[in-house]
Amino acid sequence: MSVEERRQIEPVSYAEPEVAPLPAEDRSKAFTRGILEVLQALAIAVLISVGLNLFVVQVTEVRQRSMENTLFSSDRVLVSKVDYRVHAPTPGDIIVFKPPIETNIPYVKRVIGLPGDVIDLRDGRVVVNGRELNEPYAIGLTTPRGGQIRFPFTVPAGNLFVLGDNRPVSGDSREWGSVPEENIIGKVILKFWPLNEARFFDW
């Protein structure tokens, strides 16, 4: 066999070219650039999160028993901040708001009356504009509370009348009156915690 024939049969191996390591200064620059990219990504994520929390949705923890058995203390809900920019609140909505009393805790209640509605309490039942409400979600009798609120009560313009579902323990519009619409933080659209009790609300 000729030399030329052997060359055609025998495999030819090629050595990998050696790559010179980066100088220490270049390695330092690459590391710094990587750190800056990570920090930039984190900053963008934080800005998006803050923007969503301020203008779109926020997570709220229920801290009272006043909405049992719809919502329980320590439940976590997702609150939409855009719904009421599109349409007005409607009776039955569950809202988060700053109550017109001295407290730093946002309240969660159900909308019962709109501006101009006449609210009355008769024999433990709620009557709106002369019609008794059907409230399968309510626990206990809805009785008047001490305070300045007298019934029948006409909801002022730009305000809402709200009640908790657990009527015997709820501090609500029966005590401190109606809620200015500018106090509304948003509408509860989802209960997501505990996970096994997650549910959407009408929206």
**Contact call for residues 165 and 154 (beta carbons, < 8 A):** no
- Provide CB contacts within 8 A for 200, sequence distance 6+: 189, 190
Q: Which residue has the tokens 């005590």?
A: 175
- Residue 106 structure tokens: 């946002």
Q: Is 109 a catalytic residue?
A: yes
Of 81, 109, 187, 191, catalytic: 109
- Residue 163 structure tokens: 């009640």
- Residue 90 structure tokens: 């409607």
**Contact call for residues 125 and 132 (beta carbons, < 8 A):** yes
Of 66, 80, 173, 178, catalytic: 66
Q: Is 66 a catalytic residue?
A: yes
Provide φ and ψ at 36, rounded to 5°.
-65, -40
Instruction: Name the residues annotated as catalytic.
Output: 66, 109
